[in-house]
Amino acid sequence: MENSNLHKLAIVILNYNGRKHLETYLPSVLAHSGEYKIIVADNASTDDSVDFLRVNYPQIELIINSSNGGFAQGYNEALQHVDAEYYILLNSDVEVTPNWIEPMLELMESDSNISGCQPKIKAHLSKSRFEHAGAAGGFLDKNYYPFCRGRIFDFTEEDTGQYDSNCEIFWATGACMMIRAEHFHKVGGFDSTFFAHMEEIDLCWRLKQLGHSFHAIGNSTVYHLGGGTLNYMSPKKTFLNFRNSLFMITKNHEGWLFPKIFSRLWLDGLATIQFLFSGNFTHIWSLLKAHWSYYAHLGEMLEKRKAFRKQFNIQFNPIGLYRKSIIIDKFLKRKDKFKQLKAEDFT
């Protein structure tokens, strides 16, 4: 505890049955993170992750969570025990590179209004391409569908340096996010009802309602395996993404809520047709279950929306919202790349 860097920043890796990922990716984190504190928060794993860490990495601090509450509750529980000015929330299947921390920390130190930032997220299995979960910074379209610099729906771009500039974004990825601890706790951290997926967009959205900002850093790079806990084509992931998207819209949309929800339900119906024609019947069932779960939690989400607006003075920072439909751009206009979108269509 003598080195002040130990209190400046803590790298917190959430683990659940991820011994193989810890074995593969921890060496890069240790090699390229200087003297900053590294913590593994274990979400009640049933494999030998904890024993592996205790034997092979005794210098890494361990936090043992009481249960597997998913990404959201797992971090909420663990971060109650972490004393640092900044957190880096890092997936267990991420390889970091030299100088990955300093550009992010320099930006955060430059402006206390900045809540968080992310590096470029590239694919571990195809290192010239961006990775799905965050790419070079996240945005939302007018219907609140997420997309990224470097990734629109399932298409990921090759990194040719086109997104090397720093950029204010709407949301930063939970795969590798630096966030100001004070801001994280001020709004209550992640919403544990989400369990996993889109909880980071919800968190960023709440902080942007208080006027804060998020940024993507072009000269910091990490490589993400992706799907380490839940495969991108998993029906459970489909369930969580569709349900949690409705959760975050209900909690955070400015203006008349139910017309926006109705339009999203209609668009979800189009997704059902797409699943039907592609033969993805299990995903249709997942989407239906997502809607049922949303209705079951609707009262709770409306209460959270009301409580947030009562507690805080809303000063929404809309930068990162795209005023057009990314669905139309992608599937009708065949725009696969972020650079094909017009800058004047963003707020």
Max CA distance (Å), the chain: 61
DSSP classification of residue 44: S
Work out the average pLDDT over 22-33: 98
| Percent of the chain topping pLDDT 90 | 91
Confidence of residue 278 (pLDDT cuts 50, 70, 90): confident
Q: What is the pLDDT of residue 272?
A: 83
For residue 218, CA distances in Å to 46, 72, 168, 171 come to 38, 27, 11, 15
- Predicted pLDDT of residue 2: 44
Least confident of 167-171, 265-269, 339-343: 265-269
Q: Please, what is the average pLDDT of the chain?
A: 95
DSSP secondary structure, 180-209, as one string: EHHHHHHTTSS-GGG-SSSHHHHHHHHHHH
Q: Is the pLDDT of residue 88 over 80?
A: yes
**DSSP secondary-structure letter at 340?**
G
Which of 31-40, 69-78, 179-188, 219-228 is predicted with the least confidence, judged by mean pLDDT?
219-228
Mean pLDDT computed over 132-142:
97
What does pTM read for this prediction?
0.95
pLDDT in tens, 208-240: 999 999 999 999 999 999 864 555 568 999 999
User: Which residues, including other chains, have CB under 8 Å from residue 170's CB and lie 6 or more apart?
Assistant: 138, 139, 140, 201, 204, 205, 208, 214, 319, 320, 321
**Predicted local distance difference test score (pLDDT) of residue 6:** 47
The phi and psi torsions of 2 (rounded to 5 degrees) equal: -75, -30
Contact between 130 and 151 under an 8 Å Cβ cutoff? The reply is yes
Cα 270–271–272 angle (5° rounding)? 90
- Which CATH number describes the domain made up of 8-224? 3.90.550.10
DSSP state of 171: B
Helix (H, G, I), strand (E, B) or coil at 10: strand
